[in-house]
Structure 1
Amino acid sequence: MIYPARDKQRADRLTDRLIRLLMVVIERLMQPFIRVSFHRPLPALAKTEGQYCYALGNKSLTDRILLSRITRQYGLPWSEQGSETVSKDARLIALHMNHYGLKGLAEHRVSPRLTRMMAHLLEHPEQDIKLVPVTIFWGRSPGQERHWLNRFSDQRGWLHQSIKRLGAIIFHGRHTLVHFAEPVSLRALIATSPESTLINQHVRKTARLLRVHFRQTRISVTGPELPDRKQLIRQLIRSPRIQSAVQSAVKEQGFSSQKAQQKAEKYADEIVANVSYSTVKLFDILLSWLWNRLYQGVNIHNIEQVQESAKNNTLVYVPCHRSHMDYLLLSYALYNQGLTPPHVAAGINLNLPIVGALLRRGGAFFIRRSFRDNPLYAAVFSEYLFMLLNKGYATEYFIEGGRSRTGRTLVPKPGMLSMTIQGYLRNPHRHIQLIPVYIGYEKVVEGRTYLGELRGKEKKGESIIGLIRSLKTLKEHFGKVNLAFGQPIDLKQTLDTTIPHWNNDQNEGKPDWLPQAVQTLSQQVAVGINSTATLNAANLTALGLLTAPSFTLEESSLNQFIQLCQTLHNRLQYSGHAPINTQTSEQLIAEAEKLQLITRLNHHYGDLLQLNEQQALLMTWYRNNILHLFALPSLIAFCFNQNSQQSRTQLHELLQVLYPLIAKELFLPWDKAGMHQHVDNLLQQLIEQGVLTDNGEQLARVDPYQDKGVLLTLLARPIQPSLERGYLMIALLRHHGSGSFTTESLEAECQILAQRLSILHGLNAPEYFHKPLFKQLSELLLEQGYLWLEDGHLHFSQALETFSVQCRPLFDPALRHSIRQLASQPKARPLP
């Protein structure tokens, strides 16, 4: 007797066993070649919440095997039974089912399992299935761009795909990245179109959402395909804008057409990057070793919002520039967080033999320090930057221009931001977001170099010999590093706010409103960088010890001061984005000692902590990293320096006068209304900490000889140098009279007198009399209406006199006397 149904069931069971055996064998063979990392934390999938179904982009046996292994290893649900809802094989679907013939791709259609699930849910409205999209990257190579004609001859048969996947597993399997998205309820998707009863409509909608998700995830992780460098240079040179610049060079500079073309090609070859995925992997290995030798850890803050922004936007990273390590550190961190390493604008001084080629293959493109007088170079560079942005490549540049020798955020240079805006105007459909990044070091690698420059030595250029000499730093340890990402700045929103009718301008050249837009964007970026600054052992101990007489404090006093600063920072979080610090003051002091940034003096009545002359000079750099975080608390404390009590109204009026003096210099985030709100919050915290008292009518400081009173005195001193510079400039103007100075002569005279004042009353550090700070001051006084220009000279009215009278009582009488004496000196020649 023949039993065909029983024979078929037996054959199906045998087939299932053979498939499972084959999958086990393949998994065992794959295992030595695979090391998995995750783009983001795995979602919390509870088996009791309903049935889950994983969605892959394409049908792939290796993807399915890896996904099965991950679910077993990490305890994620992998539904083996589901007869009541959908068939058991529906634990996994592939969005696209690709069928390959001998000649290539024969059919490309949506998974029928998705159709069956939708049909089941329409029949059983009480049930739900949650889709979990999973993207698997076998390596992170974005692939190479191909000529458009070659795309038609690409035959992707099953054998070709199998060999390609085998190569990816062998060569890139140890760099496998897996992205689990949050579960999506199919029942909720159906509910968004309740009027539709057709299965195909719901399937098409779900498939469309999954396609968008997979495309966005892939772009954020690997970025667009990489172009062939020679082809990109040819494309660049043939662009209408560069050809127009070539013709202008022929007319204005007398070049032959051939020579001008060759110059443009030479500039393009000097600039353009040559990104190689194999070099990026090599850098990842080398930098992992380097960071383990140099640092005790790299802490990354707020990366989640960057990962989200990367899905829909072209990202431009704008970090602060404190060290040569910034280039490498940011790219390394982004790569290890599952994001595309950016193309980095590097100074031409780094284009050294061998090193330059490696950096170029790692994503660097080189830029000259200045090309204002070379319009052909400017056209080539601007066109290349536009190409990067227009094709969606992540980009990175430093708006400060060079590394900060003072430790504070420098005034942004407008060039790169201006070219970014102009590039956006050429294609407003490309969404561009700028990502401010703060990079904080506990001990900077170039510390000795900066120390020499702070003492007046000239900056040395980069060279191979200097690079070899710097290898000795590998023997040292430099503590921890913090990378904090600020709130993304949407370029379109900034333009809409600043220039409401910017998109009505049809002028192909530079629009008239461009300088205003660049200035607003520069301010936003600088504020964004400062808003994410992090506290560490170096900058907190520097903030405390540099305010103390002789740079020495009892250990208990420094502990209390650090605790006060941490409390103010962690409870208020500056403008809401600054990462909090959870280390104890004892741990921070111990870390600073370990890094040899401070010195301990053992004493019978309690240890003393101090800075020697060399340490004190370098620690001004670390203090300036976070000076802006405590500018307002310090300003409040300064207002109680000479006047022990005042009403809230008096205090707010005084702060409204003083706040602009520090807001521009330190890129503070609050407008006047926001400043007053933040001041009220600070006052509440200072009262709770016992350094101020409030009887309902008057705010008063506690006895300055008590422990809490000493804390307020210490807190007042960090902001004092900024106020002294302003008071010095005003005193100089008042003494010599209205119309006595041009802007340049006033800034130069203030710089000379500030240098003398720093020697007489404090640390002789160039950051105290840094000339750009006086430039900012003169601009501020002009903006506020205290000064105005007439016939090239600065004039002032009674308003400046009133301002001086309001500020005078805040300063120590000895300091006021010194400033008056300095201001009465005959005018000197500017510093060389």
Structure 2
Amino acid sequence: MTVVRRVRDVARSALPRSVGERLPAAPPPEVTELLHDKRFQRAVAEAADEQGRPEEEVWSEVKGYLHEMSAAHDDRTSQGWARMGDWFLRAYDVLVDEDDMQELKRLDRSHSLALAFSHRSYLDGMVIPNALSSRRFSPTYTFGGANLNLPIIGTVASRTGLIFIRRSTQEIPVYRLALRSYIRQMVTNKRNMAWSIEGGRTRTGKLRPPVHGILKYLTDTVDGDEAPDVQVVPVSVVYDQLHEVSLMTAEARGASKTPEDWRWLVRFARLQRNRLGRAYLTVGEPFSLREKMDELAAEGVTGHQAVERVALDISHRLNRATPVTVTAIVSLALLGADRALTVEEVLETVEPLAAYIDARNWPVAGAADLRDRSTIRRALAELARSGVLTAYDQGTEPVWKIGDDQHLVAAFYRNTVIHILVERAIGELALLTVSELEPDAELPQGGTLQVGWEEAKRMRDLLKFEFFFPSRAGFEDDLRAELRLLVGEGTGSGPGDMSPERARELLVGARPHLAHLVLRPFLDAYLVLADRLADRGDSPVDEDDLLADALAVGRQWALQRRVASAESISLELFRTAMALARHKGLLEGGPGTGSAREAFAAELREAVRRVNVIGEIAGEPVQVVLPQPQTQPETQPEAQAHADAASQDSR
């Protein structure tokens, strides 16, 4: 049976015998109740008055939007949809933490659940509903992009709880009113809802910055003494490998995104024919949204700032719930070496990482033993089978390396675990900064301890658009814990007033070294964009033109080995660097901008130099030729003043 026939037949088997309208003959209860709700009626009347439009016209518009977004749960359709979901997931065994699910099921009996999930694949929308429905949870309503509302399939999906919503609604106030009110009614009726906190699939493997739309409507819902509450549940889904990663990495190199239509769906279904290991669903720590908002209000945090704080908290919980996969650790080892390795060499790199992961009590997917030779060899073989690695076995023993044009794919898998390594990597740079102090260097009042902390905070500010860091106080606490692991309990909670020689000794003896493995790809990408920005002097910048220039010059630098790896040449990383430059006010142009841009590039050149030093200490030097300034450099004090001023920015 062809893929086209399979998709069509499964979809048709799930349809009611007479499709008719997209909605069932009777609208879902939420729509009926909403249309008769006095509060909603007043809101529609106020909207009509604000817009200077007839109320009947606004009512007609809002009813159309409710018809468009509303969804229902039909038993027969849901069963057929679940079968199709299992068929789409045939490339994987889905592993679920049953203890966590049991705890969540108890919560489900008395609360509306808001499941905020990470989004690495289109398959997420099948993994989560199928896992919940097979364990007899209350029906879950999932928010999805209107771009996925395909003929026939969209009709089926809306009868299984999939709510199609538009992505851009800034110019449609009545649509926002309808969606906000619909969500409030869903919570009032204790419905379970699921949505991607990232808004769309990650293109890099790590969490994207959270999108606030759905969360904002949920926080509005729980506001007030008589308002219903909702339990927010972070849900992580991570995969050993994904067929669609190669398409996403092609987009990161500048390719156009494939539109979601029937042809796309058929191609996507065909990709799932080949086995790719396991998918892992884990549940983070739930929390009461109303209690969280009350806590923030007591701190004086309200409005958009409160929503942002909640979104970041969800992202932190998602990261904590995401297990370490063997694929991620193997990819980390091979990307760091960027050469062919034997199994023994991979194990030598992985062993200190495994010890660190144990010390931090991070979960490992499937309870795998990262030190086990057969486990590592199986991961290597699976990555070679999918084309991410190439294997050579004609010598004395087999060796594996990243395949041509596969660095971004391997980086995607590595990045699923990178969040647990960032603060350790920054701690290494803080210790390195102390070790490089000149004997007669003038120290701040806090001594070498203060030097180390300032370096760590500077790196946090440089990377704050790339990673989710806790508050400054929380970051300092976490960094102290990392430094205790790095240099041992006997040295206190940080570098302290130790001599540069002692700092160097501790750094050389520490295991593992991570800064070059974790931070270098991002800093290299930032440096490419900063260099192209500095090349424009004081001129204003067209962002699309700057991205295209960075992509072209980045490819040149990769060929010249002016960056350590081709994985840094990515539009996704350049866009994050652009966000940082925009935050620093470096895009508008004007007098003095050129000097500030060059200071930004100089700061990144120095950061790249230092992570390369960590690589040398780790015994994994990468021979790169650091790019030099293209414009006349400032005097050192002036350049440093610009860098110091930039480092004081806070997100």
Scaled by the length of structure 1, the TM-score of the pair is: 0.60
CA contact (8 A) 1:486 1:528 kept: yes
For residues 649-669 of structure 1, the C-alpha deviation after alignment (integer angstroms, 9 at most, x for no partner) is 754453233233335521134
SS in 1 for 2:231: strand
Provide the residue aligned with 2:317 in structure 1: 528
CA contact (8 A) 1:326 1:439 kept: yes
CA contact (8 A) 2:431 2:503 kept: no
SS in 1 for 2:369: coil
Which one of the candidate residues 367, 372, 391 is aligned to 1:600?
391
Asked if 1:722 is matched to 2:510, the reply is no
In structure 2, the CA distance between the partners of 1:747 and 1:656, relative to structure 1 (3 Å rule), is farther
| Alpha-carbon distance in 2 for matches of 1:307, 1:801 | 52
Asked if 1:362 is matched to 2:180, the reply is no
CA contact (8 A) 1:442 1:480 kept: yes
Q: Which amino acid in the other structure matches residue 95 of structure 2?
A: V
CA contact (8 A) 1:593 1:599 kept: no
Q: Which amino acid in the other structure matches residue 331 of structure 1?
A: P
| Alpha-carbon distance in 1 for matches of 2:524, 2:483 | 25
Instruction: Please report how far the alpha carbon of residue 418 of structure 1 lies from its aligned counterpart in structure 2 after TM superposition.
Output: 1.1
**More displaced, 627-636 or 514-523?**
627-636
Asked if 1:558 is matched to 2:346, the reply is yes
Instruction: Please report how far the alpha carbon of residue 717 of structure 1 lies from its aligned counterpart in structure 2 after TM superposition.
Output: 2.8
Provide the residue aligned with 1:698 in structure 2: 502
Which one of the candidate residues 461, 468, 471 is aligned to 2:266?
468
Provide the residue aligned with 1:440 in structure 2: 238
Which one of the candidate residues 295, 307, 315 is aligned to 1:518?
307
Asked if 1:412 is matched to 2:203, the reply is no
| Alpha-carbon distance in 2 for matches of 1:750, 1:330 | 36
For residues 598-656 of structure 1, the C-alpha deviation after alignment (integer angstroms, 9 at most, x for no partner) is 22212544332101123323222212222222112333445677997788775445323
Asked if 1:587 is matched to 2:375, the reply is yes
Provide the residue aligned with 1:92 in structure 2: none
Q: Which amino acid in the other structure matches residue 576 of structure 2?
A: L
Asked if 1:267 is matched to 2:65, the reply is yes
**What is the Cα-based RMSD across aligned positions, in Å?**
4.4
CA contact (8 A) 1:438 1:483 kept: yes
CA contact (8 A) 1:535 1:581 kept: no
Asked if 1:620 is matched to 2:411, the reply is yes
Instruction: Map 1:146-165 to 2 at 5 A.
Output: none
Asked if 1:810 is matched to 2:607, the reply is no
CA contact (8 A) 1:643 1:810 kept: no
Instruction: Please report how far the alpha carbon of residue 268 of structure 1 lies from its aligned counterpart in structure 2 after TM superposition.
Output: 0.9
Provide the residue aligned with 2:553 in structure 1: 756
**More displaced, 669-678 or 260-269?**
669-678
Instruction: Please report how far the alpha carbon of residue 788 of structure 1 lies from its aligned counterpart in structure 2 after TM superposition.
Output: 13
CA contact (8 A) 2:329 2:414 kept: yes
Instruction: Please report how far the alpha carbon of residue 702 of structure 1 lies from its aligned counterpart in structure 2 after TM superposition.
Output: 9.0
Provide the residue aligned with 1:113 in structure 2: none
| Alpha-carbon distance in 2 for matches of 1:746, 1:725 | 16
| Alpha-carbon distance in 2 for matches of 1:712, 1:756 | 33
Runs of at least 5 residues in structure 2 that lack an aligned partner in the other structure: 1-23, 438-447, 558-562, 614-622, 634-651
Provide the residue aligned with 1:141 in structure 2: none
Asked if 1:609 is matched to 2:609, the reply is no
Instruction: Please report how far the alpha carbon of residue 500 of structure 1 lies from its aligned counterpart in structure 2 after TM superposition.
Output: 1.7
In structure 2, the CA distance between the partners of 1:779 and 1:376, relative to structure 1 (3 Å rule), is same
Q: Which amino acid in the other structure matches residue 351 of structure 2?
A: Q
Q: Which amino acid in the other structure matches residue 424 of structure 2?
A: P
Provide the residue aligned with 1:303 in structure 2: 101
| Alpha-carbon distance in 1 for matches of 2:551, 2:71 | 44
Provide the residue aligned with 1:403 in structure 2: 201
Identity %: 19
| Alpha-carbon distance in 2 for matches of 1:421, 1:627 | 30
| Alpha-carbon distance in 2 for matches of 1:755, 1:427 | 56
Which one of the candidate residues 411, 426, 438 is aligned to 1:635?
426
Instruction: Please report how far the alpha carbon of residue 496 of structure 1 lies from its aligned counterpart in structure 2 after TM superposition.
Output: 2.7
CA contact (8 A) 1:747 1:775 kept: no
CA contact (8 A) 2:205 2:412 kept: yes
Provide the residue aligned with 1:541 in structure 2: 330
Provide the residue aligned with 1:30 in structure 2: none
**More displaced, 755-764 or 606-615?**
755-764
CA contact (8 A) 1:753 1:822 kept: no
In structure 2, the CA distance between the partners of 1:560 and 1:768, relative to structure 1 (3 Å rule), is farther
Q: Which amino acid in the other structure matches residue 698 of structure 1?
A: R
CA contact (8 A) 2:235 2:321 kept: yes
Instruction: Please report how far the alpha carbon of residue 770 of structure 1 lies from its aligned counterpart in structure 2 after TM superposition.
Output: 3.3
SS in 2 for 1:400: coil
CA contact (8 A) 2:389 2:402 kept: yes
**More displaced, 747-756 or 397-406?**
747-756
Q: Which amino acid in the other structure matches residue 659 of structure 1?
A: R
Instruction: Map 1:304-383 to 2 at 5 A.
Output: 304-383=102-181
Which one of the candidate residues 442, 452, 455 is aligned to 1:654?
455
Instruction: Please report how far the alpha carbon of residue 445 of structure 1 lies from its aligned counterpart in structure 2 after TM superposition.
Output: 3.4
CA contact (8 A) 2:536 2:594 kept: no
Provide the residue aligned with 2:649 in structure 1: none
Higher share in strand: 1
In structure 2, the CA distance between the partners of 1:432 and 1:347, relative to structure 1 (3 Å rule), is same
Instruction: Map 1:90-101 to 2 at 5 A.
Output: none
Q: With CA pairs under 8 Å and 6+ residues apart, which has the higher RCO, 1 or 2? A: 2
Asked if 1:666 is matched to 2:475, the reply is no
Residue correspondences, number: 573
Q: Which amino acid in the other structure matches residue 722 of structure 1?
A: F
Scaled by the length of structure 2, the TM-score of the pair is: 0.75
CA contact (8 A) 1:638 1:717 kept: no
Provide the residue aligned with 1:95 in structure 2: none
Provide the residue aligned with 1:767 in structure 2: 570
SS in 1 for 2:67: helix
| Alpha-carbon distance in 2 for matches of 1:309, 1:792 | 57
Instruction: Please report how far the alpha carbon of residue 419 of structure 1 lies from its aligned counterpart in structure 2 after TM superposition.
Output: 1.0
In structure 2, the CA distance between the partners of 1:798 and 1:469, relative to structure 1 (3 Å rule), is closer
| Alpha-carbon distance in 2 for matches of 1:791, 1:279 | 64
Instruction: Map 1:120-269 to 2 at 5 A.
Output: 229=27, 232-240=30-38, 242-244=40-42, 246-247=44-45, 257-269=55-67
| Alpha-carbon distance in 2 for matches of 1:792, 1:686 | 47
Asked if 1:777 is matched to 2:580, the reply is yes
CA contact (8 A) 1:313 1:431 kept: yes
For residues 698-741 of structure 1, the C-alpha deviation after alignment (integer angstroms, 9 at most, x for no partner) is 1446998xxx99x856762321133345666777888988xx47
In structure 2, the CA distance between the partners of 1:257 and 1:430, relative to structure 1 (3 Å rule), is closer
Instruction: Please report how far the alpha carbon of residue 303 of structure 1 lies from its aligned counterpart in structure 2 after TM superposition.
Output: 3.1
SS in 2 for 1:484: strand
SS in 2 for 1:613: coil
CA contact (8 A) 2:183 2:217 kept: yes
SS in 2 for 1:229: coil
CA contact (8 A) 2:204 2:412 kept: yes
SS in 1 for 2:570: helix
| Alpha-carbon distance in 1 for matches of 2:293, 2:207 | 24
Instruction: Please report how far the alpha carbon of residue 775 of structure 1 lies from its aligned counterpart in structure 2 after TM superposition.
Output: 4.8
| Alpha-carbon distance in 2 for matches of 1:681, 1:751 | 43
| Alpha-carbon distance in 2 for matches of 1:823, 1:295 | 56
Return the index of the structure with the highest Cα Rg: 1
Asked if 1:483 is matched to 2:281, the reply is yes
Q: Which amino acid in the other structure matches residue 526 of structure 1?
A: S
| Alpha-carbon distance in 1 for matches of 2:238, 2:275 | 15
For residues 29-69 of structure 1, the C-alpha deviation after alignment (integer angstroms, 9 at most, x for no partner) is xxxxxxxxxxxxxxxxxxxxxxxxxxxxxxxxxxxxxxxxx
CA contact (8 A) 2:353 2:512 kept: no
| Alpha-carbon distance in 2 for matches of 1:598, 1:753 | 27
In structure 2, the CA distance between the partners of 1:780 and 1:601, relative to structure 1 (3 Å rule), is same
In structure 2, the CA distance between the partners of 1:271 and 1:683, relative to structure 1 (3 Å rule), is same
In structure 2, the CA distance between the partners of 1:495 and 1:791, relative to structure 1 (3 Å rule), is farther
CA contact (8 A) 2:325 2:417 kept: no
Provide the residue aligned with 1:388 in structure 2: 186
